[in-house]
A = this chain, B = another copy of it.
Amino acid sequence: MIRVDGTAQTVVPATDRGLAYGDGVFRTLTAIGGRPRHWRHQYERLAADCRSLALPAPDRAFLEREIALVAGDAARCVVKITVTGGSGARGYRRPDAPQTTVIVASSAYPDYPATCRAEGVAVHACTIRLALQPALAGVKHLNRLQNVLARSEWNDPDVREGLMRDAADRLVCGTMSNVFLVEDDRLVTPALDRCGVAGATRAVLLEAAAQRARTVAIEDVAWDRVLRANEVLLTNSVIGVWSVRRIGDHALPRGRMADELNRWLDEADETA
């Protein structure tokens, strides 16, 4: 089900700046019984991303109502919130007072095999390198062609994700996930100040770690560290935490950390 600007509809003007320029931001989340999981973090990230693009953020209570409406009576579903610069005249310049378009859409929760979480997944090491753009780094904006190209690099349905590097061969993120490494007793996640998306689930995990007095280093991660890591973990709001068992032909062990981080996510879930 899709709602646009508070009404049930499935279309947007063909002149929307989201389509013309990718001028907008989005979040994807899981709704449980119509309530968005990890909502405080999701809304904070959405609002921060709107600020980054100088767009007014939608009202939080409005979004909660919209999410409940598109979720309907689904026990669990995926909800995507998109905020665009709205419709305007031709040209890159925004109207002085942009009227955003707010799209809230639900879709079925994907039927990932239980083995993804229980045993881990195989991933592809993407060839395309993320461009360095500090002005947009971390923002979940609608300019996602690099992710589309990365996702087109493999067809094997058993390969669940692709790891993306930047132009300097540093690990940044997955095409649809953030990444954490376990290096001995250390938890590490790549810095996202040059490229990449700062996911809400990453933010939940960083806060959960702090609450447990666990340090997570946020730093540049050269690619060769990935292949030497004790564990490589993928995180997003739909999959939770998956362990990476194979990167291309390179096998990785599955440790205990994926289960522990999934517990952190459960305990952080205000809707639980």
**Identical copies in the complex:** 2
Q: Which of A60-68, A133-141, A183-191, A243-251 has 4 or more CB atoms under 8 Å from chain B?
A: A133-141
* Given A90-B80, A131-B133, A133-B131: A148 touches B21 (CB 8 Å cut-off): yes
A23 to chain B, nearest CB (A): 5
In the bound complex, how far is the Cα of B142 from the Cα of A24, in angstroms? 12
Question: Do residues B136 and A146 form an inter-chain contact, with CB atoms below 8 A?
Answer: yes
> Which of A91, A132, A147, A151 has the largest count of B CB atoms less than 10 A from its CB?
A91
A198 to B151, CA, bound (A): 25
Q: Chain B residues with Cβ under 8 A from A20's Cβ?
A: 26, 82, 142, 144
Q: Which residues of B contact A167 (CB under 8 A)?
A: 132
1/0 contact trace for A39-64 toward B, CB 8 Å? 00000000000000110000000000
C-alpha gap A152/B28 in the complex (Å)? 28
- Listed stretches A6-14, A208-216, A220-228, A253-261; interface member: A6-14
Cα(A85)–Cα(B91), bound, Å: 22
Q: What 5 A-B pairs are tightest by C-beta distance, nearest first? A: A22-B22, A131-B131, A143-B143, A92-B151, A11-B11
A: residues with CB less than 8 A from B are: 2, 4, 9-24, 26, 28, 53-54, 78, 80, 82, 84-85, 89-94, 103, 105, 107, 128, 131-133, 135-136, 141-152, 167, 175-176, 195
> 10 other contacts beyond A19-B84, A136-B146, with CB at 8 A cut-off?
A10-B14, A12-B19, A19-B82, A22-B22, A28-B90, A78-B90, A92-B151, A131-B195, A135-B149, A142-B145
